[in-house]
Amino acid sequence: MPQPPVFDVLGVGFGPSNLALAIAVTEHNAAARPEDVVTAHFLERQPRFGWHRGMLIEDATMQVSFLKDLVTLRNPSSSFSFLNYLHGRGRLVDFVNHKNLFPLRVEFHDYFEWAAGKVDDLVSYDHDVVSVEPVADGGPVTHFDVTSRTPSGEVEVRRARNLVVATGLRARLPEGVVQSERIWHNRDFLRRVEQLEDPRRLVVVGAGQSGAEVTAFLHERFRDAEVCAVFARYGYSPADDSSFANRIFDPAAVDDFYTAPEDVKRRLMDYHANTNYAVVDHDLIADLYRRVYREKVVGAQRLRLLNLSQVAGLEEHPGGVRVTVESLSDGRRATLDADVVVYATGYREADPTGLLGTLAGRCRRDEHDRLRVLRDYRLETDDGIRGGIYLQGGTEHTHGISSSLLSNTSVRVGEILQSVLDRREPAVPVQPAYAVSALHTA
């Protein structure tokens, strides 16, 4: 059997994190000597680049400054910056006059697509990674064989000295809740809502940014429908985006968190959870409150906030969903007949070991059965593995709150790339960059 093409770096997943890494590799290679060139390739199961497409609501804005784009904190002079994107789109002056650090989400997604188009020679879309196997040849594991499958069933194998796993987040639903035609997670919101016709009542579960955005969108879109927001809090809580609190997202904060004792890590997460988790932008809270108050004044209430409450039961039937809402204060229950229920209940980190096969058992874990991750985002493995397995995401317990966010992405990929370079075996010949021909094994 012929040997698969060999890469210094093979990325699993091609969302913003591995896109930023592809850019870092491209910029490194542009200035590198031939012997220092890094060969890289990325595999993505989606047919094209996409990042939370289901929540690209027209007027929704980013919760992160445009300066925390794919490159700027790592390389302010990069041609891949958001500002250079704006210049190319002819909107730079307009954006400056807008006097806003936070672009529209659809605009930032267009920036991501623009950047992805500049490095599309490094990525294979429509490739679902199905296995990762160690390559040892009788000694330590120096490489990994990564097998991917296309929608047509074609199988391809690539070999890598280092893996970078960035498979994103998974939708979280309460136990027992199953998605259906009438029960959604907000991940698929825009695609699903286009099929909705003349609803009478819509229920949204969740008190975070996504829940508030979905509630506002449905209330605006369906003017004859009642929209009921159900959440356990007394009201929507504002995000703490003050200057001092935002230091938790600084690159230096990763070092502070990584070296801190476990009890300090927990306290830091508790102290600063309101910078990111289950919180809502001030302007959106004010807008929703104005809507509720206005409807009380005119005596036609379509927007109902069912606070201090939880969904205690769902009964789906051909005409809709019967929702039982329970008060957390007195236990009383009410029934709502809804056309659709949207769960905006967040995401969970994906377990990367599901892809690693036999390698998973060779990854070291801490006393809480969590993966041990080194400061350079590399999994700590047994001594028989020399190849690097890096994580982008799934490192919140070791690297802090920014591990799955855009805030530190550009700096993180620079650290991963530097680690790959520092650990490179000088004696191993480097193949010409991007000279790839897939190996067909089926």
- Number of residues that make up the chain: 442
pLDDT, one tens digit per residue, over 285-341 is 999 999 999 999 999 999 999 999 999 999 999 999 999 999 999 999 999 999 999
| CATH class entry, domain 6-168+350-440 | alpha beta
Q: Give yes or no on whether 6-168+350-440 and 171-239+277-343 have one common fold.
A: yes
Using an 8 Å Cβ cutoff, are 343 and 186 in contact? yes
Strand order in the sheet with 201-205: 183-185, 340-343, 201-205, 226-230, 303-306
Give me the pLDDT at residue 434, please.
31
Q: Are strands 155-165 and 439-440 parallel, antiparallel or unpaired?
A: antiparallel
Q: Are strands 155-165 and 388-391 parallel, antiparallel or unpaired?
A: parallel
Please tell me the distance from the alpha carbon of residue 231 to that of residue 310, in angstroms, as a whole number.
6
**Number of neighbouring beta carbons within 10 Å of residue 246:** 16
Opening angle at CA 324, ends 319 and 327, nearest 5: 155
Give me the pLDDT at residue 442, please.
32
Please tell me the distance from the alpha carbon of residue 362 to that of residue 356, in angstroms, as a whole number.
10
* DSSP state letter for 17: H
Using an 8 Å Cβ cutoff, are 206 and 344 in contact? yes
Q: Is 322 exposed, middle or buried (0-12, 13-18, 19+ CB in 10 A)?
A: middle
Residues 6 or more apart whose Cβ sits within 8 Å of residue 41: 5, 7, 9, 10, 11, 122, 123, 124, 158, 434, 436
Please tell me the distance from the alpha carbon of residue 196 to that of residue 420, in angstroms, as a whole number.
49
**Number of neighbouring beta carbons within 10 Å of residue 29:** 16
Which helix H or strand E contains 295, and what residues bound it?
A: helix 282-298
Whole-model pTM over 0.85: yes
**Number of neighbouring beta carbons within 10 Å of residue 182:** 19
**Number of neighbouring beta carbons within 10 Å of residue 366:** 13
- 275's tokens: 């910078």
Which helix H or strand E contains 12, and what residues bound it?
A: strand 6-12
> Mean pLDDT, consecutive 10-residue segments, the chain of 442 residues?
86 97 98 96 97 93 95 98 98 96 96 98 97 91 96 95 94 95 96 94 97 98 97 95 93 96 95 91 96 96 97 95 97 97 93 90 95 97 96 95 91 98 67 36 34
pLDDT mean across residues, the chain? 93
Domain covering 171-239+277-343 in this structure, CATH number: 3.50.50.60
Instruction: Dump strand ranges (E) for 270-332.
Output: 303-306, 309-317, 320-327
- 93's tokens: 């002056």
Q: Is 64 exposed, middle or buried (0-12, 13-18, 19+ CB in 10 A)?
A: buried
Give me the pLDDT at residue 352, please.
85
**Number of neighbouring beta carbons within 10 Å of residue 27:** 19
Instruction: Dump strand ranges (E) for 126-207.
Output: 128-135, 143-149, 155-165, 169-171, 183-185, 201-205
**Number of neighbouring beta carbons within 10 Å of residue 110:** 15
Domains of the chain: which residue ranges?
6-168+350-440, 171-239+277-343, 245-275
